[in-house]
Structure formats: C-alpha cells, structure tokens
Amino acid sequence: MPADHAEARASRPEVTPDPAVGSRALASLTSSWSRKGRRWNVSRQRVVRPVPDRCQLAWSPATSSQLRITGRPIAEINLRLLHTVAPSAYSTFVVAPARAALLGYGRIGSLHALTIREHVPSLSVDVVAEPQPSSRAAAAELGYATDRDWRAVIHRPDIDAVLIASATEMHPAQVIAAAAAGKAIFCEKPIASSLAATDAALQAVAQRQVPLQVGFQRRFDPSLTAVRDGITGGHIGRPLLLRISARDPEPPPAWYLRFPGGLYVDSAIHDLDTARYLLGDVAEISSIGAASFDPYAAAAGDIDTAVTLLRFGNGALGALDNCRISASGFDQRIEVHGTAGTVATTNMAAAGATLATASGIRHPRNVDFFTDRYAAAYVNQFTSFAAVVAGGDPQATGADARAAFVLALASEVSRAEHRPIDVAAFTAQLTVPSQHPVAAS
C-alpha cells in the first residue's frame, strides 16, 4: 500500500474479521437500516465480538457475501462503520459512504453524480470540480458543492476518492495528481488520447499504489455478465466465434468530433474491451471503415461505420461492427458461438408493448442510448468502485484500459494502411521504454 493511502487508512483503525469467526461474526450484523442524510443506521442483532468505538470495517467480497442487509449483499452496499453511536448489545452504527470528488460535470459526469446519489449508498459525491460556470451552476442546483479548481478538491483530506469524468485530454494530468494525493481513482475511458500519456498515468498509479478503476461499465452489465458466465461455466463448449454489433442512435454533433479519439478510441473501445473481457487477449486485428453517411465525420477525417476482425490468442475469431446511426434506437448485441452452444444478448426494448395482429407483430423500439441501456451497469460499476475504495480489487483495471486502447489504435492503423496488425508487435513498437514498468492493475 502506498504511503499516503496507507496513512489515510491508518487514521481510521480497521477491524479485520477474525478468520476463525469472521464470516459468522459479520453474518450476524443484519437487518434494519434506513437512510438519514448521507448516513446509514444499522442495528446489530447479535454481538459476536466487541467492536471498538470509532472503527472502520471493510469487507472483502469473499467474506462480505455472508452479510446481507435487507436482502442486498454487502458487496453491493460496502458498509464502512465509522463509529458506534450507542454501544450496547444492539448498538446502532453510523455508516458513512466513501467520499468522492467528481471532476467534470458534462454529459457523463452529471449522469454519474445522479447514479451515485440515487443508487449507490456506499459512495457519495461530496464536491464537483468543473471549469464551466453553466455546468457548475447545474451541479449546484442539484445541491452539490462545487469548485472550479480540480487540483484543490483532489487534495482535500476529507476526500477518499476522485472520479474523473472530464474531457479526455484532462484525464492523464488528473490521474497523476490524484495518485500523488493518495486517492482511489475512477477514470472514464480512455485514460488518455496517446499511449505515452496513458503509460505516464499508469506509472503514477503504480508508483503510488493507489487503486484505479476504469469506466468500462459494460463489464458490470447484467447481460454481459450472463454471457461471460455462459462461457466460463463451460455451457457453450470451446468458444469459436464472437460477434458484437454496436450502433449508436445518431452521430455525435460536429463539435464533438473536434476532440481526439474518433470512432475507434471514443466508441469501439468499449466493444474491444468487451471482446477481451469475454475471450481474452487479441493476437491479430484488422479493420475497414468508412465515412458512409455523416458529412461531419468525413470533414473531421473520422469514420462513421467500421467492421473489425479479431483473432484471439486462444484461436477464436471475432467480428465487431460499429455504426454511428441506428434508426431503431441504441443497438447493442453480443453473441458467442462455441462447440457446444451459443450464448447471446438481445437489445433492450424501450417501454411499450408488443402488438400482434393478422398483419404481423410489432415490438417497441430499442432504448434511446447508453444512459438507458447501461443504467444498471453504471450502478454496479460505482458500487464495485466503492468496494475498491474500501480495499477490494478493481474489475476494470488500468491494464485493461491500456490493452483496449492499443486495440483501438491498431484498428485505426489497420484501416488506414489496409493491413492486419500483429497486436504484440504493434504494442512493442508503440511502447516507450520506461524505468517503471506498467503494473498489471
């Protein structure tokens, strides 16, 4: 553990579950809880062992699955008991969520703030740093404390974690500063718009040994989890083929295309990460793409449509298609075909009903966009991040972010140069030698 992070933890004495009775002891902490402001009251039904005043309990997911509060596993709640209010056999604990500073209150930052406030009791956004006065005002209107200076909020001693949802070009500097301040970090994808800047950020994280989770929320999507379970559970035999279709309802506005990234780095990076998450590392990649319908994409030198072929290290093959338009709404489908079966997701339908008549069957259209399709994934992502702040392992790491970013860059090179790319050779060629190798997380 890094010095700063270790000090931050040490200032709140931890009670480590006794291996002999740990799970049983924790399992006895159950039942009624209610929200009072940011605090959670938990009544302890049975005293198994004394809990000192002003203690912090952090559960690993392994032991925490034993503990349930009103039916929700602790892994989702991630309680941190800060001190007992009335020590007795039926003590009430004041439970505080991890406290976070949110950097950036744009499209995704404002969604994250709302998701956390409404659905993630184990995490709270205590301050929003945002340079735009109008966005700061929007955050203030919803009751968030705001600051225009992200450096000031990063260094606040009462802040446990930094959530980076600012424009991509700010990410590396903010990751580096948050790591130096010893904070747990959540960073939106991509970590940076170049591999050198990505590596500089990851090196800072590795040096300070702070936890880092990256915004690949699809890893927390219940449908994707079910696909992965179908594969890892052996239900489809040996995976042979992966197919992902990812089509946005409409292209981004012209101004959005000014920012670094393009279709592969900005959007397909999610699908490239999904591919790795399901079938492991990619050995070879090739892509074709075109600005088929969007004049702004063409003018910006970007593309709006792409087909990308993958050869995985385990021999399986994959095909991704991306498009920036989909008249039926947000189109997100995954299929993995194996020697013993197929596991696949369908699109998420918007509210409505299926109308079946003599002339045919009409279903509701797809949900509009990622905010609806991945609402549950965002909740799970931040619930998981709160567990990371309390000492758990991130499920979407810096190494995952780097690997998907390299695949996005390789896709672009393949498209531009009309050739398949050997991913290992491409990665080696791009990697700037460093004194500090990038850690695996």
Residues binding ligand NAD (CB under 6 A): 103-109, 129-132, 135, 150, 165-168, 170, 188-189, 215, 217, 266, 370
In sequence order, the 6+-apart residues with CB closer than 8 A to the CB of 221 are 374, 376, 377, 380
Nearer to ligand NAD, 160 or 248 (CB): 248
Select 166 or 347, whichever has its Cβ closest to ligand NAD: 166
CB contact at 8 A, 57 and 19: no
| Distance of closest approach, residue 267 Cβ to ligand NAD, in angstroms | 9
**108 versus 390: smaller Cβ distance to ligand NAD:** 108
Judge contact between 316 and 276, C-beta under 8 A. no
CB-based contact 283:374 (threshold 8 Å): no
Torsion sign, CA atoms 72, 73, 77, 81 = positive
Residue nearer to ligand NAD on the CB measure, 163 or 316: 163
CB of 386 to ligand NAD, least distance (A): 17
Q: How far is the CB of 135 from ligand NAD (least distance, A)?
A: 4
Q: Is 200 exposed, middle or buried (0-12, 13-18, 19+ CB in 10 A)?
A: buried
Nearer to ligand NAD, 22 or 172 (CB): 172
User: Which C-beta is closer to ligand NAD: that of 33 or that of 216?
Assistant: 216
Distances (CA, A) of 157 to 8, 131, 287: 9, 22, 47
CB of 229 to ligand NAD, least distance (A): 22
* Structure token pair of residue 344: 């696949």
Nearer to ligand NAD, 283 or 375 (CB): 375
d(CA 269, CA 264): 6
378-416 burial: b if 16+ Cβ within 10 Å, else e: bbbbbbbbbbbbbebebbbbbbbbbbbbbbbbbbbbbbe
Closest distance of CB 419 from ligand NAD, Å: 28
Q: How far is the CB of 139 from ligand NAD (least distance, A)?
A: 9
Judge whether 287 and 307 are in contact, CB under 8 Å. Answer: yes
Provide the residue type at 297 as one letter.
Answer: A
Closest chain position to ligand NAD (CB):
106
Q: Is 179 exposed, middle or buried (0-12, 13-18, 19+ CB in 10 A)?
A: buried
Exposure of 60 in the CB half-sphere (CA atoms within 13 A): 9
Shortest gap between Cβ of 287 and ligand NAD (angstroms)? 20
CB closer to ligand NAD, 165 vs 438: 165
Q: Kindly state the smallest distance separating residue 409's Cβ from ligand NAD, in Å.
A: 15
Instruction: Name the amino acid, one letter, at 292.
Output: S
